[in-house]
């Protein structure tokens, strides 16, 4: 595996580890809590991440390993990440050029730009919904910030990556002097002030 692909795989695993730890910390009573994503509860956040992992397999004609988010969100995520890691760990698949709404690129780059970064955002969603520490790694924010300012319009189009899939919502206006995490969340279509209803 070349250096670039190795870095992508390592970055994916780091982000997946963080997301998995957040999923693992949700108590059974927490799965029905509302999330910052309109009409989604905490379980739906995991369902979306699992679904996006399935999208990463489509260019290869692969089907996701069966898993049930309703029955066991943690196992479902672990299963989905194993499917994507199998692609990243295969030099031929990782380097295979694929077509995506974000353009033509090697499969590993598609994983990096879509589902890998998606987990950073949705870890915040899940943590905020379930009362966990929702701090985004400052190094992640610094790395992602330039690209966040240039998110293609297609990434905000519902269904661009498949039926029912929306990558980013409309921009939420945040003051220019707000903390970087708040500004990043605004560009990612999140209101950084959102809190789940009390009770």
**How does pLDDT run across 61-79, given as a tens digit for each residue?**
899 999 999 999 999 999 9
d(CA 64, CA 190): 29
Query: pTM of the predicted model, to two decimals?
Result: 0.90
pLDDT tens track for 109-163: 999 988 998 899 999 999 999 999 999 999 999 999 998 888 877 777 777 767 7
Judged against a pLDDT cut of 60, whether residue 1 lies above it is answered with no
**Residue showing tokens 């701090």:** 135
Q: What is the DSSP letter of 64?
A: P
Confidence tier at 3 by pLDDT (50, 70, 90): low
Judged against a pLDDT cut of 90, whether residue 30 lies above it is answered with yes
CATH number, span 3-135: 1.20.120.450
Mean pLDDT of 6-25: 97
What is the H or E stretch that residue 88 is in? helix 73-88
In the chain, domain spans: 3-135
Give the tokens for residue 138: 């400052």
**What are the backbone dihedrals phi and psi of residue 23, each rounded to the nearest 5 degrees, phi first?**
-60, -45
């Amino acid at each position: 595996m070349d250096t670039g692909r190795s870095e992508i795989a390592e970055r994916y695993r780091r982000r997946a580890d963080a997301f998995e730890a957040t999923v693992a910390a949700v108590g059974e009573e927490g799965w029905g809590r509302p999330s910052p994503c309109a009409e989604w509860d905490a379980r739906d956040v995991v369902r979306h991440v699992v679904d996006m992992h399935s999208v990463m397999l489509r260019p290869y004609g692969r089907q996701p390993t069966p898993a049930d988010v309703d029955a066991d969100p943690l196992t479902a995520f672990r299963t989905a990440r194993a499917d994507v890691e199998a692609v990243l760990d295969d030099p031929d698949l990782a380097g295979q050029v694929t077509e995506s709404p974000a353009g033509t690129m090697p499969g590993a780059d598609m994983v990096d730009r879509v589902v890998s970064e998606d987990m950073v955002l949705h870890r915040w969603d899940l943590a905020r919904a379930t009362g966990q520490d929702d701090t985004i790694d400052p190094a992640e924010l610094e790395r992602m910030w330039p690209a966040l300012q240039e998110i293609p319009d297609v990434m905000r189009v519902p269904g661009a990556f498949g039926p029912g899939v929306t990558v980013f919502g409309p921009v939420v206006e945040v003051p220019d002097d707000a903390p970087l995490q708040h500004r990043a969340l605004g560009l990612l279509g999140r209101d950084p002030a959102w809190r789940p209803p009390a009770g």
